Chain A
């Protein structure tokens, strides 16, 4: 892949993450509209996308995101207050940016639909943005510069810039001197003060870090945008304040208060640079303290502020206090840096493949070592086996991600559905820390989406109906996940009206799936809803009810070697339970021999092995179950199931396996013991073969088939039902 294509790929991946972050922030702001952190994060995400798309020449993305960024910039500067309507608009904009990026990824031109949406959204955004074109006039400059209504304006005609570069700016390949040199080219640097207060003692000082900040006064005829753009590439990580000429005095105070260094020191710098005169500074500081004192009149702190002592040295207690507060804040906000690393998924897959081969190879060596009976070799082989086992486990863990990340995406889905269906729906999430394989996570998202939509759309009743039934006005959809016997279980639970058994039975008969007089258990009845074309919805809503959904859901889950079942109580709600295997690549298994062939049973489903008792052996042909310590255990003779023709062995064994609370015995000839195997899929031709979910290559090079226990169990159940 050439470099540009690689960069584009990275952009698409990272933008995806930025968009997710934006959505999170927006949903959070709906409930906490004053959260400055969320607003900043929102702005940063938009800014990053705008910048990167610009570098890559993706014009539509850059242009649109730029307008969004403008709005976010105003919100960030407290010029526009965020409200429900704005959040709604921003969510739409976020979605549109995603569309634009997808189009850019596919190298497609803007579709008509996208273009229309683009202009519509830009129009709505522009309505919120005040006029900003052209050079700054004196009046608009001071209006724009601060959230605080302009009282007095400073008399300086120079721009004041406060630059605090991030620690890592030098390591990132940038140098403040280039920025400052450039400023010198677009204007005249009237005053500059380098601030090195944050440089630690020699012991701690890292010579590759940047500890310098700058206070600069610049006379320039260029407008704010030009000066802003100078810092385009460091904006995100660094703190840059730009105050236009004749800014409100309070804006300067606002800026120096937000900087880490001592307020007085900074005040002095401003005065020496000419931004403020000494009297302006003093007056402003005093007024600020007065204002705060009035606000905190009830506070104990407030009464302290009342004791203002003016010394020659100009030390206001509250200013000192503010300075101290600032210092405390700056000390060790040791941000817990999540140390993560980004890996190409393909590389990870090939690594895991290799680990799989390694597992087989080391098992080989172990076997041969046993045969040669050399003590030293046996020991080496066994320690190698142990190490390989550890590598295998570690590599499995790498691919695991917590399902909580996927679950939280549904907040947006539920919110949108709530609005569309005019219902009050609450999404509750539990078990988010449950981990599963990354590829499984990606493939389970769509089915889950459909199930959540279903629950919200069909399951949950409208508010009046709920209240009439004595339920809470708010309907709840709950996503839950947990581990159970080598599988991960994901549940979509709602407290709505539940499934209507009669309606399902009726529909089942109408469609011909159920014959007259046929008796179905609850689970079988509910299972009908997964049949293609089956839908008992009275109306087809925008979201669901077309009957094309549930069967696709089931197919997708089965493609992941999982199962799905439904539980429901009429009037109370329904639970859709999905079971998925934890790993897709390597499994621990128990190998058995039937006839001349070998089969592998997933170890976590094996309960016990027993020898088929003589007494049972004789009767076993007439019955489909055996008596195991008083329990009736259905069984399958793998020999006849797989039509092995070779001679029957003298001894037969039963492996008892369990899945989803049901036990089945598998009658086999030989027991070979535990193995670790790499699952190789069988390919399309063998997909329809019942009872086999894959194959593996054994130590001796031969192929063993991996049994699909869930399907074997359901087969056994069917058999039992028929002969009953």
Chain B
């Protein structure tokens, strides 16, 4: 699992590749929360996510909630097929975009 963060002014783009699962949940949380703390806008690129589980989805929900609380912007920009499948199953597309 790989996390790459790119900063462009006040916007952070976090690219997650590989398994977005419970095994990496702590790292995922940290990356997301740190980025939200440092920037005003957080974009998530999930196009290279090979596998995702409920723990992974929870990180997305956490990001949405935290961003709202901090009055910052957050959205999921791109999704791999795997990511889209679970996010659709959970009917979370609206929440995350």
Contact A207 B25 (CB under 8 A): yes
Q: Contact between A202 and B25 (Cβ–Cβ < 8 Å)?
A: no
Q: A170-B22, A177-B89 are in contact. Are A212 and B58 (CB under 8 A)?
A: yes
Closest to A205 in B: B62
Note all chain B residues with C-beta closer than 8 A to A170. Answer: 22, 53-55
Q: Which residues of B contact A201 (CB under 8 A)?
A: 66, 69
- Asked whether A346 is an interface residue with its Cβ less than 8 Å from the other chain, the reply is no
Using known A-B contacts A177-B53, A199-B65, A207-B59, determine if residue A193 contacts B91 with beta carbons closer than 8 Å.
Answer: yes
Residues from chain B with a CB closer than 8 A to the CB of A337 are none
- Closest partner residue, chain A, to B28 (CB atom): A207
Q: Which residues of A contact B91 (CB under 8 A)?
A: 192-194
- Minimum C-beta distance from B14 to chain A (A): 15
Nearest residue (CB) in A for B70 is A202
Distance (whole angstroms) from the CB of A277 to the closest CB of chain B? 21
- Given known pairs A181-B89, A192-B91, A194-B90, the reply for A211 and B69 (CB within 8 Å) is no
Compute how far the CA of A214 lies from the CA of B86 in the bound complex, rounded to whole angstroms: 14
Please indicate the chain B residues that have their CB under 8 angstroms from the CB of A192 in the complex. Answer: 89-91
Q: Mark A151-181, 1 if CB is under 8 A from B, else 0.
A: 0000000000000000000100001110011
What is the minimal beta-carbon distance from A205 to any residue of chain B, in angstroms?
6
Give A53 Cβ to nearest chain B Cβ, in Å: 30
> Which residues on A sit within 8 Å (CB–CB) of B65?
196, 199
Please determine whether A207 and B26 come into contact, CB atoms closer than 8 angstroms: yes
Within the assembled complex, what's the spacing in Å between the Cα atoms of A193 and B61?
A: 13
CB distance from A185 to the nearest CB of B (A): 12
Which residues 22-80 of B have a CB within 8 angstroms of A?
Answer: 22, 25-26, 28-29, 33, 53-55, 57-59, 61-62, 65-66, 69
- Asked whether B3 is an interface residue with its Cβ less than 8 Å from the other chain, the reply is no
Q: Which residues of B contact A208 (CB under 8 A)?
A: 22, 25-26, 55
The complex places the Cα of A193 from the Cα of B58 at a distance, in Å, of 14
- Residues of A with C-beta under 8 A to B59: 207
Within 8 Å of chain B (Cβ to Cβ): is A210? yes
Whether the pair B55, A194 counts as a contact (CB closer than 8 A) is no
Size class of the A contact interface (CB-based, 8 Å): 20 to 34
Determine which of A177, A193, A199, A202 lies in contact with B54 in the assembled complex, contact meaning CB atoms within 8 Å: A177
Q: Select A202's contact among B57, B62, B90, beta carbons within 8 Å.
A: B62
- Determine how close the nearest CB of chain B comes to the CB of A24; give it in whole angstroms: 36
Given A177-B54, A212-B54, A199-B90 contact (CB < 8 Å): no
Residue ID in chain B nearest A181 by CB atoms: B89
Interface code A130-166, partner B: CB below 8 Å = 1, 0 otherwise? 0000000000000000000000000000000000000
> Could you tell me the distance between the alpha carbons of A184 and B88 in the complex, rounded to whole angstroms?
13
A207 near B86 with CB under 8 A, answer no
Establish whether residues B29 and A207, one from each chain, have CB atoms under 8 Å apart when the complex forms: yes
What number of B residues sit within 8 Å (CB to CB) of A?
22
**Would B29 and A205 count as touching, CB distance under 8 A?**
yes
> Within the assembled complex, what's the spacing in Å between the Cα atoms of A302 and B84?
51
CA distance A677 to B29 in the complex (A): 56
Q: How far is the CA of A212 from the CA of B69 in the complex (A)?
A: 19
Asked if residues B54 and A207 are in contact (CB atoms below 8 Å), the reply is no
B92 within 8 A of A: yes
* Chain B residues within 8 Å of A194, by CB: 61, 90-92
Closest chain-B Cβ to A188's Cβ sits at a distance in Å of 13
How many Å lie between the Cα of A192 and that of B59 in the bound state? 20
Q: How far is the CA of A297 from the CA of B56 in the complex (A)?
A: 51
Residues of B close to A184: CB separation below 8 A: 89
Determine if A202 and B55 form an interchain contact, defined as CB atoms under 8 angstroms apart. Answer: no
Report how far A180 CA is from B61 CA in the complex, Å. Answer: 18
A638 to B71 Cα, complex, angstroms: 90
Q: Which residue of B lies closest to A216 (CB)?
A: B91
Q: Would you give the shortest CB distance from B71 to chain A, in whole angstroms? A: 15
Q: What is the distance, in angstroms, from A211's C-beta to the closest C-beta of chain B?
A: 6
What separation, in Å, do the CA atoms of A181 and B53 have in the docked complex? 12
Question: Are B61 and A196 neighbours in the complex by a CB distance under 8 Å?
Answer: yes
Q: Please state if A202 and B66 are interface contacts (CB–CB under 8 Å).
A: yes
Within 8 A of B (CB), among A690-708: none
CB proximity of A136 to chain B, nearest CB, Å: 27
**Assembly CA distance A184 to B61 (angstroms):** 23
A196 surroundings in chain B (CB, below 8 A): 58, 61, 65
**Bound complex: CA of A184 vs CA of B91, how far in Å?**
14
Chain A residues with Cβ below 8 Å from B55 are 170, 207-208, 210
Distance A192 CA – B92 CA, assembled complex (angstroms): 10
A207 and B58 contacting across the interface, CB-CB below 8 Å: yes
Q: Looking at the assembled complex, report how far the CB atom of B83 sits from the nearest CB atom of chain A, in whole angstroms.
A: 12
Are A199 and B89 in contact (CB-based, < 8 A)? Answer: no
Please measure, in the bound complex, the distance between the C-alpha atom of A73 and the C-alpha atom of B57, giving whole angstroms: 34
Specify the chain A residue showing the minimal Cβ separation from B24.
A207
- Min CB–CB distance B58 → chain A (angstroms): 6
Q: Is the Cβ of B22 less than 8 Å from the Cβ of A180?
A: no
Minimum distance in angstroms from B49 CB to a CB of chain A: 14
**Given the complex, which residues of B lie within 8 Å of A193, measured CB to CB?**
91
Closest to A180 in B: B89
Contacts of A202 in B (CB 8 A): 29, 33, 62, 66
Q: Are B54 and A175 touching (Cβ within 8 A)?
A: yes
Residues of B within 8 A of A175 (CB): 53-54
> How far, in whole Å, are A530 and B26 apart by their CA atoms in the complex?
67
In chain A, positions 232-270 with a C-beta closer than 8 Å to chain B are none
B26 to A: closest C-beta gap in Å: 6
User: Smallest distance from the beta carbon of A179 to chain B beta carbons, Å?
Assistant: 10
Residues of B with C-beta under 8 A to A181: 89
Would you give the shortest CB distance from B17 to chain A, in whole angstroms? 18
What does the 1/0 interface line of A207-225 toward B look like (CB < 8 Å)? 1101110000000000000
- Docked CA distance A199–B68 (Å): 14
Report A491 CB to chain B, min CB distance, Å.
Answer: 55
Listed residue (B29, B59, B62) with the most chain A CB atoms within 10 angstroms of its CB = B62
How distant is the Cα of A2 from the Cα of B2 in the complex, in angstroms? 40
Nearest A residue to B33 via CB reads A202
Instruction: For the complex formed, measure the closest distance between the CB of B96 and the CB atoms of chain A, giving whole angstroms.
Output: 11
A199:B58 contact, CB within 8 angstroms: yes
Q: Given the complex, which residues of B lie within 8 Å of A180, measured CB to CB?
A: 89-90
Distance (whole angstroms) from the CB of B51 to the closest CB of chain A:
11
| Identity of the chain B residue whose Cβ is nearest the Cβ of A189 in the assembled complex | B89
Whether A199 contacts B61 in the complex (CB less than 8 A), given A177-B89, A194-B92, A207-B55, comes out as: yes
Q: Which residues of B contact A207 (CB under 8 A)?
A: 22, 25-26, 28-29, 55, 58-59, 62
Evaluate contact between A176 and B62: CB separation under 8 angstroms: no
Q: In whole angstroms, what is the CA distance A176 to B26 when docked?
A: 19
List 13 other contacts, CB 8 Å, given A170-B54, A196-B61. Answer: A170-B22, A175-B53, A180-B89, A180-B90, A192-B90, A192-B91, A199-B61, A205-B29, A205-B62, A207-B59, A208-B25, A210-B58, A211-B58
- Could you show 21 A-B contacts with beta carbons less than 8 Å apart? A170-B55, A177-B86, A177-B89, A181-B89, A184-B89, A192-B89, A193-B91, A194-B91, A194-B92, A199-B58, A201-B69, A202-B29, A202-B62, A202-B66, A205-B62, A207-B22, A207-B25, A207-B28, A207-B62, A208-B25, A208-B26
Chain A residues packing against B (C-beta within 8 Å): 170, 175-177, 180-181, 184, 192-194, 196, 199, 201-202, 205, 207-208, 210-212
